[in-house]
Structure 1
Amino acid sequence: MQESKLKNYLLLHLIVFIWGFTAILGALISLDAVPLVWYRMSLAVIFIVLYFIIKKKSFKVDARGILKFFVTGVIIALHWIFFFKAIKVSNVSVALVTMSTGAFFVSLIEPIFFRRRIKPLEIILGLIVIFGLYIIFNFESQYKLGIIYALISSFLSALFSVFNGLFIKKYSGGVISLYQLFFGVLFISIYLLFTNGFTISFFEVVKLDWLYLVILSSVCTAYAFIASVNVMKYISPYTVMLTINLEPIYAIILALFIFGEKEKMNPEFYFGAFIVLFVVLLNGIIKNKTLIKNKIKEKTVRKK
């Protein structure tokens, strides 16, 4: 039992490392953000469909689910487009630190859909994050556009995360992922058709980019998603949350090794980044402690 838990914990770290590597691949691929996301989502759909066929899983979903997945598929596509745009106009470090604000966007959006009050502590922590971003914004002014793109991407990420929190109560993770990715591809395809984006140059992808795209869509998208769902069966949400918060740190260290000087920032950036990442981690610890307390109270009430 202990050996199985350790195995899954190490697997979780590998998954988080893979998610961090997504940003590295985004910087390495020479394609612009829109074609990059189109290829990523298209290939990921193919890989997940193959997974469904091998595992003999059902593709069936109701009409209401189709509509829900279409809307969130569009949101996911836009989220990835702005994420890769942020990397292209700035760098991996700036994009990932700014993306860490997603937890606080969730804190603002979640109460609307789950009908709860916004907690004062969430507002305070959110303001501290804004202060950290202000430091980065002020001292790394050449990356302003990248920060803005990453903030938009972070908000969209929070939006579809909240929606998926509602969907998972009725649909399996595999079904949600498959249809959202499919509709994301459909949305981008319609956009490209109307803007005459499907040119000859669009399909002229260099061999190295194909290699990176296959890794991005198979390992970093299809595999990471399926593996993360399986890991959550054996590891507590608290451990999962703490480990996921290491993603920007893994990616920033990796980017420094791969891209060198391009990823080296002013000391003020790392101070601002520390504030953002520390508050995100603190927020997760506080939330999970509250969750554990509530569960203990529920068990106590049931025993009575």
Structure 2
Amino acid sequence: MNRQRAVFAIHIAAILFGLTGIFGELIQADAMVITAGRAGFAVLSLFAVMRYAGTSPLLGITRRNIGVLAMAGFMLAVHWVTFFLSVKISGVAVATLGFASFPAFITLCECIFFKEKISVAEWLILLLVTLGLVLVTPSFDFRDDATIGLAWAILSGLTFALFTLINRRAAARIPAQQVACWENLFVALMTLPFSFPAITQLGALDWLWLAMLGILCTALSHYLLVSSLMVLNARSAGIVIALEPVYAIFFAAVLFAQYPSARALLGGALMVGAIVWSGMRKAGKAPA
């Protein structure tokens, strides 16, 4: 893959990530059913890709790896369930902007759990993200559905940050497709028991949306991201992936006429800007 194709691939991945909330809105099912279906289709497609490539999901897997992957799968399951709850309650735009707080949670978790020092610039990034969340918040009354939805989205961001740290610290030596396959398998196993009988009552169109969510927005987007990172540096990839909320808000406006307020847009701009700045700083510190 050359640089031009890698740039195209990372943009497609960002668009697919942005479509996640759209499919969550389209599927007429609760968050648990959507999560179980998404994970199931992702496992099937990732397993097929590995078999086509001649690799085995069991290669290099140990008991310790299984425990770590199960823990990561639990965090991923909570992340998806809370995100789709937010989509159902408050809409795609608010859910995506609330989830976009996860880089700030990563920084805080690294400080709390791994005793890593937070620089002045990182404190400023956290402040910008917090200010963005305050502006995005429709009201500070938990009787307001939009505020409840934003709270679920922020919890989704926190659990995704924990999921990211588990992968970064403990599963870094396992091939990416293998990690994704096992984690999605654990998500499916954890959520399927809570999805019956509702999942058996889905219509044909809902199954189509679930398949697209699992195959395109999970398996394919993951493959495109990993492939592009073999050519692009972290700075370039991070800037593009930070556009995910922009794509999500655009699609929500076009498809569902969900238009965020000017205040929410300003808050989103602050958060996206802080995320891009954070990515650029980390890329600059990375070894050549």
Structure 1 stretches of 4+ moved >3 Å? 111-115, 138-142
CA distance in 1 between counterparts of 2:196 and 2:16 reads 30
Q: Quick check: which one's helix share is greater?
A: 1
CA distance in 2 between counterparts of 1:173 and 1:167 reads 13
| Match in the other structure for 1:284 | 279
CA distance in 2 between counterparts of 1:277 and 1:226 reads 24
CA distance in 1 between counterparts of 2:138 and 2:220 reads 38
Q: Post-superposition shift, 1:133?
A: 1.3
Contact 1:12 1:240 in 2 (8 A): yes
Q: Which residue of 17, 37, 40 maps to 1:39?
A: 37
Q: Post-superposition shift, 1:250?
A: 1.2
| Match in the other structure for 1:92 | 92
Contact 2:33 2:192 in 1 (8 A): no
| Match in the other structure for 1:123 | 123
Q: Which residue of 54, 57, 69 maps to 2:55?
A: 57
| Match in the other structure for 1:25 | 23
Code of the residue aligned with 1:259 in structure 2: it is F
| Match in the other structure for 1:12 | 10
1:167 aligned to 2:165?
Answer: no
CA distance in 2 between counterparts of 1:140 and 1:209 reads 34
Helix, strand or coil at the partner of 1:198? coil
| Match in the other structure for 1:299 | none
1:73 aligned to 2:73?
Answer: yes
Return the TM-score normalized by structure 1.
Answer: 0.88
1:244 aligned to 2:244?
Answer: no
Contact 1:72 1:180 in 2 (8 A): yes
Contact 2:16 2:216 in 1 (8 A): yes
Code of the residue aligned with 2:13 in structure 1: it is I
CA distance in 1 between counterparts of 2:203 and 2:36 reads 16
| Match in the other structure for 2:196 | 198
Code of the residue aligned with 1:243 in structure 2: it is V
Code of the residue aligned with 1:134 in structure 2: it is V
Q: CA RMSD in A?
A: 1.8
Contact 2:86 2:95 in 1 (8 A): yes
Code of the residue aligned with 1:276 in structure 2: it is M
CA distance in 1 between counterparts of 2:134 and 2:283 reads 28
Q: Post-superposition shift, 1:288?
A: 2.2
Contact 2:69 2:171 in 1 (8 A): no
CA distance in 2 between counterparts of 1:232 and 1:287 reads 15
Code of the residue aligned with 1:240 in structure 2: it is A
Code of the residue aligned with 1:93 in structure 2: it is A
Code of the residue aligned with 2:249 in structure 1: it is I
Helix, strand or coil at the partner of 1:7? helix
CA distance in 1 between counterparts of 2:171 and 2:70 reads 15
Give the % identical residues.
25
Q: Post-superposition shift, 1:18?
A: 0.9
Task: Output one character per residue of 1:114-159: Cα deviation in whole Å (capped at 9) or x when no partner.
Answer: 5421223222321222122112225586410111000000000011
CA distance in 2 between counterparts of 1:249 and 1:140 reads 24
Q: Give matches, 1:120-269, under 5 Å.
A: 120-139=120-139, 142=144, 143-190=146-193, 192=194, 197-199=195-197, 201-260=198-257, 263-269=258-264
Structure 1: gaps (5+ residues): 297-304
Structure 2: gaps (5+ residues): none
Task: Output one character per residue of 1:214-268: Cα deviation in whole Å (capped at 9) or x when no partner.
Answer: 11111111111122211111111111111100111111112111111xx113221
Task: Output one character per residue of 1:65-101: Cα deviation in whole Å (capped at 9) or x when no partner.
Answer: 0011111111101100000000000011111111111
Number of aligned positions between the proteins: 283
Q: Return the index of the structure with the highest Cα Rg.
A: 1
Contact 1:139 1:268 in 2 (8 A): no
* Counterparts in 2 of 1:222 and 1:179: CA distance versus 1, 3 Å: same
